[in-house]
Structure 1
Amino acid sequence: MNGLKGIIESGSLWATHFSFLNDSNELTHGMNCLENALQYLRDDFNPKTLKFIEQALTHFRMHRAAHVYNLSFCLEPDLLSQWRGYGSSQGVCLEFDDEELLASLELTHYQVFKNRVLYTKEDSTVEARNEILAFFRQPHVQAAINADVMHEMIQATRLAHSLPPFFKNDGFKEEPEFRMVILPDSPFEGVNFRVNDSGLAPYLIIKAKDKLPLTNVRIGPRSNRAMMM
């Protein structure tokens, strides 16, 4: 309930640093999946394009991966496993429409991507290969590259920023997670810290322009409903 109260009163959400999620290695997992898939794309891309993708992923790993934040949501609003894992005796579920929520947030100085999480095994390359192909087959991506060949490098960079954060070890697949991934333009500006079991966890305060478009609040099965209504 303290979390609900804080969210409503402040009109903001906290985006947690990727290293402090329930799987601290998941960003590495995503990068590994994509890098390992490149060898199976030789019939789909020319060597120059594959080199652009490889270089973009390497640059992301070395320079941007340390500054990625996440807002996590669950696609299913009433999963018992989620109540057990995240809802204490006063657990509640806040429901949003993703498009309305994205439009409501002040994101001027951030690069933002949203999607559902893709759960894969450590050594799997099929899903990563399919995601890379799907990215480059988007009409607006193809149009940009056809208009200017330099956009091939730009789109490879965008791929490296937008795909790795949405891969997660399939041991967590019962979560059906949807996430908004946030990359700040200035990596060290506006970073806050809170104490958790792992130490000091960095987070960003993402404020609403007016108010958060909350559509529903669901009370958890372990909560005292009579006292909370």
Structure 2
Amino acid sequence: MINNNFFDYLLKSLAHYKKELIFPKNSYIYHYTSIDGLMGIIQNKAIYSTDARFLNDISEQNYAKNLILEECNLFLERVEKSNQFFWESVLKGLNKQDIPIIYITSFTSESDLLSMWRGYGSNTSSVALEFGKTFLGLITNSYSSLVNVIYLESEQRSFIQWNIESIIKYYVINKEATDQNIESTVKTAIQYISMLFPVLKHPAFKEEKEIRLIIPEVNVKKHEIKVEFKSNKDSICQFIKTNLSNPDIVFPIEGIIIGPTSDFENLKKSILEFTSKNNVDIYDKRIISSTIPFRY
């Protein structure tokens, strides 16, 4: 079990780190996906968040973990002796392979990016779904965070250091209570630090301007969100759904950008027919083509 008061305190402190970290609710974001992905979102009236351990590139996770461990070890060298056991226990937990599960969904502020089309459309057509403030109001809630990914290493280190200080601050202020259940306190710190992994990405990917919806495992359990499974290349991964259906609002896809293709008009027509059959209204003028030419 984790310390819910401790975890809630850390989540609230995260929102106050820098206003640039939390993505504003009055902006547009884009979700690149395959045609199969588009059909799944429309049919299920939901968007999926996948176990971060099954990201496309394992080196991405290693980059974030190594950076966090480095800063945590540096902090251990200067932590007060009375807090040393607690921090050593946190480090020991972080070094284990079975860190807590984090569910993520990837978005970007870029609507027509060549590297993204290459990533999602190497063997098939792909689209970028445009979402606005209605969607952002649906997915940002008490159990999730929508954050801008940090790419610059100096900013990443400052972010990690700030969060370490937040953890220690709470631990010191509530030391008598936290020490009485040190195992729960350590687990809470590890759960929170694992949430930082998806916020950090190698500087080489900066052009993607990625925004991530992050949902920690502890909140999935707390809110009794159903965990499902799907195939993922040579494995099976967990995912959860965020419901996009609400009788009081229009379905929140506000536009669709079709990636480079040799047959835009037919694909557009088929998308309009499919969305209409599934009671999702997308205006004809809101389905547009990428400006990037199709390469045969």
| TM above 0.5 | yes
Aligned equivalents of 1:57, 1:215: Cα separation in 2: 44
Matched residue type, 1:131: F
Unpaired segments of 5 or more residues in structure 1?
Answer: none
Residues 171 and 48 of structure 1, relative CA distance in 2, 3 Å threshold: farther
Is the contact between residue 105 and residue 209 of structure 1 (CA under 8 Å) also seen in structure 2? no
1:10 match: 44
Q: Per-residue displacement from partner, 1:16-47 (whole Å, max 9, x unpaired)? A: 22222111243343222112013545798645
Is the contact between residue 14 and residue 205 of structure 1 (CA under 8 Å) also seen in structure 2? yes
Equivalence map 1:1-229=2 (5 Å):
1-41=35-75, 46=80, 52=86, 55-56=89-90, 58-59=92-93, 62=96, 65-87=99-121, 89-97=124-132, 100-105=134-139, 111-119=143-151, 126-135=154-163, 148=174, 156=189, 159-185=192-218, 186=221, 190-208=226-244, 210=246, 212-222=251-261, 224-227=263-266, 228-229=268-269
Identity of aligned residues (%): 26
Q: Per-residue displacement from partner, 1:118-170 (whole Å, max 9, x unpaired)? A: 236xxx6x4443003444678xx89977975568x688557414312212233
Deviation at 1:2, TM superposition (A): 3.1
Match of 2:201, SS state, is strand
Q: TM-score, normalised by structure 1?
A: 0.72
Deviation at 1:81, TM superposition (A): 1.2
Match of 1:65, SS state, is coil
Residues 159 and 220 of structure 1, relative CA distance in 2, 3 Å threshold: same
Aligned equivalents of 2:260, 2:174: Cα separation in 1: 55
Is the contact between residue 107 and residue 211 of structure 2 (CA under 8 Å) also seen in structure 1? yes
Match of 1:119, SS state, is coil
Aligned equivalents of 1:136, 1:53: Cα separation in 2: 10
Residues 78 and 146 of structure 1, relative CA distance in 2, 3 Å threshold: same
Bigger Rg, which one = 2
Task: Give the number of the structure whose residues are more often strand, by fraction.
Answer: 1
Is the contact between residue 69 and residue 94 of structure 2 (CA under 8 Å) also seen in structure 1? no
Aligned equivalents of 2:262, 2:197: Cα separation in 1: 36
Is the contact between residue 192 and residue 202 of structure 1 (CA under 8 Å) also seen in structure 2? yes
Residues 156 and 189 of structure 1, relative CA distance in 2, 3 Å threshold: closer
The higher relative CO (CA closer than 8 Å, separation ≥ 6) is in 1
Q: TM-score, normalised by structure 2?
A: 0.58
Residues 22 and 173 of structure 1, relative CA distance in 2, 3 Å threshold: farther
Match of 1:101, SS state, is helix
Q: CA RMSD in A?
A: 3.9
Residues 118 and 51 of structure 1, relative CA distance in 2, 3 Å threshold: farther
